[in-house]
Amino acid sequence: MTQGKIVEYIDQGRFVCTICLHDKGSRLHLLTPSNREVNLSPKRTILISEPTIDISQSREDLLEKLKQIEEMRIRLKEQIDVKGLWELVQDEEETFDHKYLAQLIFGETATEGHSSAVVRALFENHLYFKMKNGHFMPSSKKKVEQIVRQQEEEAVRAERLSQGSRWLKEIQQGRCPDEPPCKADIVQLLIQLALYGKDTPDFKYGKELLSNADVTDIRQARVLLIKLGEWEEDENLDLLRSGLETEFTEAQLEASARLTAQKADLTGREDLRDIPSITIDGPFTQDFDDAISLKMIGDEVHVGVHIADVAAAISPDSILDQAAAERGSSQYLPRRQIPMLPADLSKDVLSLKQGQDRNAISLLARFDKSGTLIDYRFAPTVVHVRQQLIYEAVNETLPGNVLFEEMHRFSQRLRQRRMDLGALNLSLPELEVRFDGNGSLSLELVEQETPSRSIVAEFMILYNWLSAKFCRDNQIPILFRTQAGPSEKLPLDEKGYLYYVFQQRRKLSPLHIRTAPAPHSGLGVEAYIHATSPLRRYLDLVNQRQIHNYLLQKGSVYDEESLEEIRISVEPIIKNLGMIKRNSLRYWILKYLSLHRGKRLRALILDELKNKYRVVLTDVLMIADLKRKDGIILSQGQEISVEVKKADPWEDIIILEYIDEA
């Protein structure tokens, strides 16, 4: 019988010392120190111990007796050195009951009160012992050390949380508090929250940090980083998430400096310095990959396309090659350029700069006046660029300039020949994000179908087509770019060119990079590679190495298997860069529209959906949704006016409203 005995159990994480008033077999009726009566299953008891108390006493006497027993057991508990006890038995791979442990501490005369004190002490300090089925197993030394480290780390985190939240709260209030010692950790946590939100590994900790700083929306982490001066107002989060290296290491810069100091090796190169080659690029271009030349000799057109021979300088698997492979391509973003190679190489000693002798891999081709190819060859060369021109200047001076006029006529013949072979012209203006001297944002659509841009585009397509043909015919392993024909060819009808381009692009087959040659339907050529931008695109450099080695009668750098490995490694990087660039452009468009709320824009209906229309804003060439309006029926291809009601670049939100101009 348990009646009259001291019964101890655990409730809500604490020890409860009671007197059993009645033993009902399956239930014990107990009196607690707070003068409550409770029923408890015997299975929940931790200790049932003497002395047996006369329960016929008054309630006050019972409570007083219970209080005395509780106080005595607490005093005994405080005398117990749990760590010392653990050190005494830690090497024993067995469990111990509370009576045995009480005797180890208090001696052979230990009572049930001493046993209760042991159980209480080990329960409260569960670092050193694990309790199972009423017995205690000492934790291993390794486990104890691990838990101690965790506790120390948690204490540090708690202190960091306290300091950090106070600091951020004052920042929120516009004050300039002293920086806490944990600033770097807090900033890093804010960065993770801003980049990954709920997917942040320490999200719970970060959310608590912000909550204690009276910040309820985790998206405010970005705002805090801007206030702290850690981020710019328009920080590119996609770029940060990508992990793309934006700076070169000291070792990479040292390797670049060594290459810069070396004198170019001209051995085995054809001297083309007397050919008047030119470059045509944008006004801000500094890394010149390509130069072109053209000369009329009798009834023949002699064309030269000269590509900087980067392969001669950057060795495979070198530290700079690895840096280029990790980047995949140079990245040109508004307000930010991330070169694939260090500037002293890409913008200086390897760049086809005006007035400088440079190594190149040149295409030298002969055509008749109709544009039919007579023959061609590739050669390692030395070139000397005579003029560095920009697109606008060539367009302005083209009328009356014999060279430019002939280049333009020739490029048109090349284009027409491709169109006759099934090429599709789906060119659209390119949106440029610009900033004036005061940092004011503006957007401008730059026409791509100008004479100068057509010249450059066709000369580069020619080089890449004949490079692919050359590699295919000479069985040089190479990375071809292939594209099957479109699922459907659409007519250009009364809905206009812009509507046609967007609809036809949806019908295009995907582009593939592979080691087997196949046609590129979109360009109208039987084989195609990329080899014209080795300063800016890693796969161009890889392809150039193959051609370079063949021309110098060396073995191929790569076989098909290693080319495939490179493709698998680099292609995801290139796709990610494309996503970063698209998202960046969309961000700046939305930023511009957010600054011009209420602005009216022209739009073209692309699709009719259930509750909305999909439109392209023709002033900025951005696709957006337009909610349907009751009583207003619009159709595909229709040009309309819309008003910007809201634009938020950070949340990627744009709300448009149809404007009836009837």
pLDDT tens digit sequence for 249-301: 999 999 999 999 998 888 889 999 999 999 999 999 999 999 999 999 999 99
Residue 662 is predicted with a pLDDT of 61
State both tokens at 585.
Answer: 């452009």
**Which residues share a beta bridge with 643?**
600, 657
Q: Which amino acid is at 51?
A: P
Q: Is the pLDDT of residue 134 over 70?
A: yes
Residue whose token pair is 């009196």 = 31
Task: Indicate if 635 and 565 belong to the same structural domain.
Answer: no
pLDDT digits (tens, 9 = 90+) for 494-509: 999 999 999 999 999 9
Task: Indicate if 135 and 165 belong to the same structural domain.
Answer: no
* CB of 421 closer than 8 Å to CB of 371: no
In a domain, 1, yes or no: no
pTM reported for the whole predicted model: 0.81
Angstrom CA distances, 37 to 23, 34, 51, stand at: 13, 9, 20
Domain closes at, from 585, 604, 625 = 585
* CB of 342 closer than 8 Å to CB of 336: no
Give how far the C-alpha of residue 606 lies from the chain's centroid of Cα atoms, to the nearest Å. 31
Residue 116 is predicted with a pLDDT of 92
Separation CA 321–CA 541 (nearest Å) = 9
Residues 6+ apart with CB under 8 A from 123: 10, 15, 131
Into how many domains does the chain fold? Answer: 4
Separation CA 461–CA 427 (nearest Å) = 15
**Which residues share a beta bridge with 29?**
22, 39
Task: Indicate if 170 and 58 belong to the same structural domain.
Answer: no
* CB of 548 closer than 8 Å to CB of 312: yes
In a domain, 646, yes or no: yes
Residue 460 is predicted with a pLDDT of 98
Of all residues in the chain, the percent with pLDDT exceeding 90 is 80
Residues 6+ apart with CB under 8 A from 547: 361, 378, 467, 470, 471, 476, 478, 531
Task: Indicate if 124 and 78 belong to the same structural domain.
Answer: yes
Question: CA torsion sign, 612 to 616 to 617 to 622?
Answer: positive
Residue 297 is predicted with a pLDDT of 94
Separation CA 29–CA 36 (nearest Å) = 10
Task: Indicate if 126 and 163 belong to the same structural domain.
Answer: no
Domain closes at, from 524, 550, 585 = 585
**Higher pLDDT pick, 131 / 325:** 325
Residue 199: which domain range?
Answer: 143-231
In a domain, 641, yes or no: yes
Task: Indicate if 78 and 154 belong to the same structural domain.
Answer: no
Separation CA 382–CA 264 (nearest Å) = 10
Give how far the C-alpha of residue 208 lies from the chain's centroid of Cα atoms, to the nearest Å. 26
Strands 373-390 vs 270-271: parallel, antiparallel or unpaired: parallel
Q: Rounded to the nearest 5°, which phi and psi values hold at 125? A: -110, 85
Residue 444 is predicted with a pLDDT of 96
pLDDT digits (tens, 9 = 90+) for 378-429: 999 999 999 999 999 999 999 999 999 999 999 999 999 999 999 999 999 9
Q: Is the pLDDT of residue 14 over 90?
A: no
First to last CA, the chain: 97
* CB of 414 closer than 8 Å to CB of 462: yes
Residue 508 is predicted with a pLDDT of 97
Task: Indicate if 400 and 480 belong to the same structural domain.
Answer: yes
Q: Do you find a cis peptide bond into 51, omega within 30 degrees of 0?
A: yes
* CB of 237 closer than 8 Å to CB of 192: no
pLDDT digits (tens, 9 = 90+) for 520-542: 999 999 999 999 999 999 999 99
Q: Please report which confidence band the pLDDT of residue 172 belongs to, taking 50, 70 and 90 as the band edges.
A: confident
Most distant CA atoms of the chain, gap in Å: 131
Task: Indicate if 13 and 158 belong to the same structural domain.
Answer: no
DSSP conformational letter for 555: -
Q: Is the pLDDT of residue 178 over 90?
A: no
Task: Indicate if 562 and 427 belong to the same structural domain.
Answer: yes
Residue 49 is predicted with a pLDDT of 84
Q: How many residues does the chain have?
A: 662
Q: Contacts from 65-74 at CB under 8 Å and sequence distance 24+? A: 65/19, 66/6, 66/17, 66/18, 66/19, 66/31, 66/33, 67/33, 69/6, 69/17, 69/113, 70/17, 70/33, 72/113, 73/17, 73/113, 73/116, 73/117, 73/120, 74/117, 74/120
3-state secondary structure at position 167: helix
* CB of 498 closer than 8 Å to CB of 428: yes
Q: Is 24 exposed, middle or buried (0-12, 13-18, 19+ CB in 10 A)?
A: exposed
State both tokens at 587.
Answer: 């961000």
In a domain, 169, yes or no: yes
Question: Average pLDDT of 229-241?
Answer: 95
Residue 152 is predicted with a pLDDT of 87
Of residues 569, 546, 564, 380, the one with CA closest to residue 477 = 546
pLDDT digits (tens, 9 = 90+) for 599-640: 999 999 999 998 999 999 999 999 999 999 888 899 999 999
In a domain, 648, yes or no: yes
* CB of 265 closer than 8 Å to CB of 259: no
pLDDT digits (tens, 9 = 90+) for 27-63: 999 999 999 999 999 989 988 887 789 999 999 999 9
Task: Indicate if 400 and 508 belong to the same structural domain.
Answer: yes
Separation CA 6–CA 48 (nearest Å) = 6
**Higher pLDDT pick, 131 / 396:** 396
Domain closes at, from 170, 204, 231 = 231
In a domain, 238, yes or no: no
Mean pLDDT computed over every residue of the chain: 94
Separation CA 326–CA 569 (nearest Å) = 9
Element (H, E) at 482: strand 480-483
Q: Is the pLDDT of residue 174 over 90?
A: no
* CB of 611 closer than 8 Å to CB of 627: yes
In a domain, 590, yes or no: no
Separation CA 95–CA 437 (nearest Å) = 78
Task: Indicate if 260 and 219 belong to the same structural domain.
Answer: no
DSSP conformational letter for 133: T
Q: Please report which confidence band the pLDDT of residue 559 belongs to, taking 50, 70 and 90 as the band edges.
A: very high
State both tokens at 31.
Answer: 């009196």
Task: Indicate if 97 and 193 belong to the same structural domain.
Answer: no
Q: Which amino acid is at 547?
A: I
pLDDT digits (tens, 9 = 90+) for 563-577: 999 999 999 999 999
In a domain, 158, yes or no: yes
The CATH number covering residue 649 comes to 2.40.50.140
